[in-house]
Chain A
Amino acid sequence: IAGITQAPTSQILAAGRRMTLRCTQDMRHNAMYWYRQDLGLGLRLIHYSNTAGTTGKGEVPDGYSVSRANTDDFPLTLASAVPSQTSVYFCASSAGATAFYNEQFFGPGTRLTVL
């Protein structure tokens, strides 16, 4: 069982370009999340999805969009990348839709550099 896979592992991107970060989980978890990790700031929630077909905004959603067409996949799109989006991006999932009593499991991350 792979758990959560993310692609690409790393990417260097020119400002203004569009980029989609992929996330796939094989645990049949209902809820999925995208975080960005920046030094000294910990992880901050970008977007989340409680179940397939629904999404919600997290703490830092501006400049990002997500979709949840099925249970397994939760892609994150940067429509027009800016240097401040240089970060490490982590996808996570948890079993329950409300997930208050469920822990989150994390993917290996995508290191994105926007020049």
Chain B
Amino acid sequence: AQSVSQHNHHVILSEAASLELGCNYSYGGTVNLFWYVQYPGQHLQLLLKYFSGDPLVKGIKGFEAEFIKSKFSFNLRKPSVQWSDTAEYFCAVNGKAAGNKLTFGGGTRVLVKP
């Protein structure tokens, strides 16, 4: 079975600070990895995804994530956050044997203070 763990439930930081959200997954085979974002009152939107190739993935709005296979990790980063980055962030994994079923982490709520 696949599982996802997000270490931080809540993060509060000021504008221009750097952001890093941890994500570890449990699955022994080939995986696809995703970060989704949910802005207040909105539905989930894809930030970035890793299918194969370069383990450093760049997404929208200046976000990036690095897949470290040996650590089963897919941490999300942004060098300088803005107030508009206030949202909940979800890491998700799709193991190849699981077919099309995504498993989500519990989410991290990020509050960026102006």
Residues of B with Cβ closer than 8 Å to A? 4, 6, 9, 32, 34, 36, 42-46, 49, 51, 90, 92, 94, 96, 99-107
Interface residues on A, range: 20 to 34
- Point out the residues of chain B lying under 8 angstroms from A104, CB to CB: 102
- Determine the main DSSP class of A at the interface with B: loop
Interface segment among A15-23, A39-47, A63-71: the answer is: A39-47
In the complex, what distance in Å separates the CA atom of A56 from the CA atom of B64? 33
In the complex, what distance in Å separates the CA atom of A96 from the CA atom of B99? 10
- Point out the residues of chain A lying under 8 angstroms from B49, CB to CB: 103
Interface pair B43/A108, CB less than 8 Å apart = yes
- Report the minimum CB–CB distance from B89 to chain A (whole Å): 10
- Point out the residues of chain B lying under 8 angstroms from A108, CB to CB: 42-43
In the complex, what distance in Å separates the CA atom of A33 from the CA atom of B49? 19
Q: Assess whether A11 is interfacial by the CB under 8 Å rule.
A: no
Interface pair A106/B43, CB less than 8 Å apart = yes
Interface pair B101/A48, CB less than 8 Å apart = yes
